[in-house]
Chains A and B, each alone.
Chain A
Amino acid sequence: MDEKVGPSEMIVHLGPQHPMMPGPFRLNAKLRGETVVDSEVEMGWIHKGIEKILENKTYLQGITIVDRICYLAALTNEEAYVGCVEKLAGIEVPPRAQYIRVIMEELSRIQSHLLGMGEYASFVGFVSMFMYTIRDREDVMTLMDSVTGARVTHSFLRFGGVKDDLPEGFKDDVKRVFASLRKAVDSYEELYSSDEIYKSRTVGIGVLTAEVAKDIGVSGPPLRATGVAFDIRRDEPYLVYPDLDFKVCVQKAGDVYARVQVRLDEMRESMYIIEQCLDQIPDGPLFPEGTAYGRRTPVMRVPAGEVFHRVEDPRGEMGFYMISDGSDKPYRVKIRGPVYPTLQGLPPLIKGVKVADIVAIAGSMDTCTSEVDR
């Protein structure tokens, strides 16, 4: 951004502490009157150096660290990391463990969307929606808590399997929670579509066209809201997703309203996926039989090689590039977060809008600053 300020222009700093974001982030916006003429995003307020730390931890210790890349999608981060090691070491995950992973990852998608949507509603002045979504999110969190033993950072996945089996009565709990959650999602949709103030602040605001979105490198709900059906679960399947029936939720408009609508539809799809999994899940071991995985092993060495593995995060395409040199620690791990390009594309998107719409547009991307900084 050009620091020079012309006549009747000024620079406004939003952040680093700003209620708009779950995490520090700074937007320097140059305004003429109330219109944004130029802007710049400053990152790095919570850069933790995770990539360097991972190089100095053993593979198993790394699972705990990757949890904390994005605390709203801990399980999908783990899936990407564990998937890398499994590809390098050639581990086959038994079917039961794969189903449990899918169930947990979809639950994590639901809770992330609930928080993102609710928080977003509060940005456009709809705070009661935040209260509703957090209330329903607690039920989902309790479900996850009953399986993994943690609410936010789970450390649940292991190489070749999962830490624990589903507890007894889990299916009934899911049924009970989903019955109320389905109703809740329907009521959110009704609230969104009937509220005139909400609609006037979201419909036609922050329109992202498919060409621009592809150019910026956006993935996940913001991209699917522009009409591009790009979903790693379908395009590059992992786990048991090929056996499951689900559709990629797409909207045409590409505005803020469409992004929220995509998240609503995805929550319904996730619930459908989990119910299929619970019906189809076979009995069997949690770790490949006849191997040491799952037991206490002192050191795990991974064959030398390089691999790129990507999964569908609640926010888009999450990828890990891992280089192993045959020792017990990875040589280099690169984390490709979905929000990184999305946040980078914010300045062109908010050019020419009013100040009040900055929050509406930035919030609708459901950004997770921790993942951008790592």
Chain B
Amino acid sequence: MAVEQSDYEEVPGVILTDRNAISDFLKTTKAQDVLNWGRKNSLWFMVNAMGCCGVELLSTGMAHYDTDRFGIIPRNSPRHADVLIISGYVTKKYLPALKKIWDQMPSPKWVIAFGDCAISGGPFYESYSTRQNVDEIFPVDVFVPGCPPRCEALIQAFFELQKKIEAKQDRGTEY
């Protein structure tokens, strides 16, 4: 996510470059629009069923709602995924594992907070075991309220995310 400063030695007469330099340059051109167009149309999400909302997550990816139409495909491995959907209560015990999943996902990556539990703690907001305010830990782009939200709401959330990526206002990439 963060653009690292290159620490190459300067060699007279030779212009050295690295990946970040190229991507920094691209961000100033129209080429970034083309990249974002590609990104927004292939939002593969991670099937990470953590609670009640996880059931709706499974249904959304399957036959009836068929999100494949929009390039939104469920993936079981974080290494393949672009979108992490926090679909339930994050407990103190599970938070390190969720962070690890987030770290394993390749950039650019986005987060959707799906359901009341991920937003504010939901019905378990005062529990001794859950971790509240997950949005302080992950850069959440879209919040979907509901307990649990319906499958249509998740599809709507993906559309909102696509709009944000197209407008270069998402939190997954630094422009």
Q: Answer whether A and B touch in the complex at a CB cut-off of 8 Å.
A: yes
Residues of chain A whose beta carbon lies under 8 Å from any beta carbon of chain B: 16-17, 19, 21-24, 44-50, 52-53, 56, 64-65, 68, 71-72, 115, 119, 130-132, 134-135, 137-138, 141, 151-153, 370
- Asked if residues B94 and A24 are in contact (CB atoms below 8 Å), the reply is yes
- Nearest neighbor of A22 in chain B, beta-carbon distance: B49
- A50 and B117 CA atoms in complex are apart in Å by 14
How far, in whole Å, are A132 and B64 apart by their CA atoms in the complex?
9
The answer to whether A24 and B97 have CB atoms under 8 Å apart is yes
A91 CB to nearest B CB, Å: 25
Q: Is B93 an interface residue (CB 8 A)?
A: yes
Using known A-B contacts A46-B89, A48-B89, A49-B127, determine if residue A22 contacts B63 with beta carbons closer than 8 Å: no
Known: A16-B97, A45-B91, A115-B58. A23 touches B50 (CB 8 A): yes
In the assembled complex, B129 has its CB within 8 A of some CB on chain A = yes
A134 touches B123 (CB 8 A): no
**Partner pick for B52 among A24, A44, A68, A132, CB 8 A cutoff:** A68
Whether B63 pairs with A71 at a CB distance below 8 angstroms is no
Q: Which residue of the partner chain, among B51, B76, B123, B147, contacts A23 with CB atoms under 8 Å?
A: B51
Residues of B within 8 A of A (CB): 47-52, 54-56, 58-59, 62-64, 76, 78, 88-89, 91, 93-94, 97-98, 101, 123-124, 126-130, 147-148, 150
Q: Is the CB of B63 within 8 A of A48?
A: no
Q: Separation in Å of the B84 CB from the closest CB of chain A?
A: 11
Bound together, the chains give a CA A153 to CA B101 distance in angstroms of: 28
A22 touches B97 (CB 8 A): no
CB distance from B54 to the nearest CB of A (A): 6
Question: Within 8 Å CB of B62, what residues of A?
Answer: 130-131, 134-135
Q: Are A71 and B52 in contact (CB under 8 A)?
A: yes
> Do A45 and B56 contact each other (CB < 8 Å), given the known contacts A23-B51, A68-B123?
no
Which residue in chain A gives the minimum CB-CB distance to B64?
A138
Q: Interface centre among B59, B63, B88, by most A CB within 10 Å?
A: B63
The residue on B at minimum CB distance from A45 is: B94
- Contact status A151-B150, CB under 8 Å: yes
| Bound form: Cα–Cα A134–B64 in Å | 7
Please give the distance in Å from B55's CB to the nearest CB on chain A.
5
Contact check, A370 vs B51: say whether CB atoms are below 8 A apart.
yes
In the complex, the answer to whether A16 meets B94 with C-beta atoms within 8 Å is: yes
- Within 8 Å by CB of A19, from B76, B89, B97, lies B76
Cβ contacts under 8 Å, A72 to chain B: 55
CA distance A280 to B34 in the complex (A): 63
**27 A-B pairs in the complex with CB atoms less than 8 angstroms apart:** A17-B78, A22-B55, A44-B93, A45-B93, A45-B94, A45-B97, A46-B51, A46-B88, A48-B89, A48-B129, A49-B129, A49-B130, A52-B128, A68-B51, A71-B148, A115-B55, A119-B58, A130-B62, A132-B63, A134-B58, A134-B63, A138-B59, A151-B56, A151-B150, A152-B52, A152-B56, A152-B148
CB-nearest residue of chain A to B90: A46
Least CB distance from B43 to A in Å reads: 19
Q: Is B94 in contact with A49, judged by CB distance below 8 angstroms?
A: no
Please report the C-alpha to C-alpha distance between residue A46 and residue B91 in the assembled complex, in whole angstroms: 6
Complex CA–CA separation, A119 to B58 (angstroms): 10
Report the minimum CB–CB distance from B157 to chain A (whole Å): 17
- Minimum C-beta distance from B9 to chain A (A): 42
Q: B123 contacts which chain A residues (CB < 8 A)?
A: 53, 64-65, 68
Separation in Å of the A33 CB from the closest CB of chain B? 25
7 A-B pairs closest in CB distance: A71-B52, A19-B76, A134-B62, A138-B64, A131-B63, A49-B127, A135-B63
Q: How far is the CB of B100 from chain A (nearest CB, A)?
A: 9
A115, B51: Cα distance in complex, Å: 15
Tell me, rounded to whole Å, the shortest Cβ–Cβ distance linking B140 to chain A: 19
Q: What chain B residues lie within 8 Å of A65 (beta carbons)?
A: 123
B75 to chain A minimum Cβ distance, whole angstroms, is 9
In the bound assembly, the distance between CA atoms of A72 and B52 in angstroms comes to 8
